[in-house]
Structure 1
Amino acid sequence: MKAWQYDEYGDVNVLKLSSDVPVPTINDDQVLVKVVAAALNPVDFKRRQGYIIATDSPFPIIPGHDLAGIVVKVGSNVKSLKEGDEVYGDVMERALAEPKQFGTLAEYVPVDEKLLALKPKNLDFLQAAAIPLAIETAYEGLERAGFSEGKSILVMNGAGGVGSFAIQLAKHVFGASKVAATSSTGKIELLKSLGADVAIDYTKENFEELPDKYDVVYDCVGKNVTKSFINGLA
Structure 2
Amino acid sequence: MSEETMRAMAYETYGGTEVLAESRLPVPKVAPGEVLVRVKYASVNPVDWKIMAGGLDALMDVVYPVVPGWDVAGTVERVGIDVPEYAVGDEVIAYARKDYVHGGTFAEFVNVPVRALAAKPASLDWKQAAGLPLAGLTAYQLLTRLGTGKEDTVLVHGASGGVGSLGVQIARALGARVIGTASPRNHDRLRELGCEPVAYGEGLADRVRELAPDGVSVVADFVGGVLDVTRAVLADGGRHASIADHTVLGAGGQWMWVRPVASDLAELGRLADSGLLTVPVAETFPLAELAAAFELSQAGHTAGKIVIEV
Could you say whether these structures have the same fold, taking a TM-score greater than 0.5 normalized by the shorter chain as the test? yes
Question: How far apart are 1:228 and its partner, in Å?
Answer: 2.5
Q: What are the within-5 Å matches in structure 2 for residues 80-229 of structure 1? A: 80-92=85-97, 98-172=99-173, 174-176=174-176, 178-196=177-195, 198-202=196-200, 206-210=203-207, 211=209, 212=212, 213-229=215-231
Q: Which has the higher strand share?
A: 2
Identity of aligned residues (%): 39
SS at match of 1:78: coil
| Partner Cα distance (2:224, 2:100) in 1 | 23
Following TM superposition, by how much is the alpha carbon of 1:165 offset from its aligned partner in structure 2, in angstroms? Answer: 1.3
Give 3-state SS (helix, strand or coil) of 2:26's partner. coil
Q: Flag structure 2 segments of 5+ consecutive residues without an equivalent.
A: 1-5, 236-310
Q: 2:32 is aligned with what amino acid?
A: D
CA distance in 2 between counterparts of 1:53 and 1:68 reads 27
User: Conserved in 2, the CA contact under 8 Å of 1:217 and 1:225?
Assistant: no
Query: For residue 72 of structure 1, what is the aligned residue in structure 2?
Result: 77
Q: How far 1:148 sits from its partner (Å)?
A: 3.0
Higher RCO (C-alpha 8 Å, min separation 6):
2
**Following TM superposition, where does structure 1 have runs of at least 4 consecutive aligned residues deviating by more than 4 angstroms?**
none
Match of 2:30 in 1: 26
What secondary structure is seen at the aligned counterpart in 1 of 2:29? coil
User: Which residue in the other structure is 2:304 paired with?
Assistant: none
- The CA distance in 2 between the partners of 1:56 and 1:39, in whole Å, is 22
> How many Å apart are 1:31 and its aligned residue?
1.0
User: 2: distance between equivalents of 1:72 and 1:144?
Assistant: 34
Residue deviations 1:70-124, cap 9 Å, x none? 111111211111111111111116xxxx234100000001111221111122211
Q: What are the superposed Cα offsets for residues 121-170 of structure 1, whole Å, 9 maximum, x if unpaired?
A: 22111110000000111112113333233111111111111111111111
Contact 2:71 2:105 in 1 (8 A): yes
Higher helix share: 2
CA RMSD after TM alignment: 1.6
**Rounded Cα–Cα distance in structure 1 between residues aligned with 2:206 and 2:44:** 35
CA distance in 2, matches of 1:171, 1:133: 19
TM-score normalised according to structure 2 size: 0.69
Q: For this pair of structures, how many residues does the alignment match? A: 224
Query: Which amino acid letter does the alignment assign opposite residue 74 of structure 1?
Result: V
Show structure 1 runs of 5+ residues with no match. Answer: none
Deviation per residue, 1:17-42 (Å, 9 max, x gap):
11x21111101211111100001111
SS state of the match for residue 111, structure 1?
strand
Contact persistence 1:9–1:49 (CA under 8 A):
yes
Shift of 1:233: 4.0
Query: Match for residue 250 of structure 2?
Result: none
1:38 aligns with 2:42: yes
Q: For the residues of structure 1 that align with 2:63 and 2:190, how far apart are their CA atoms?
A: 41
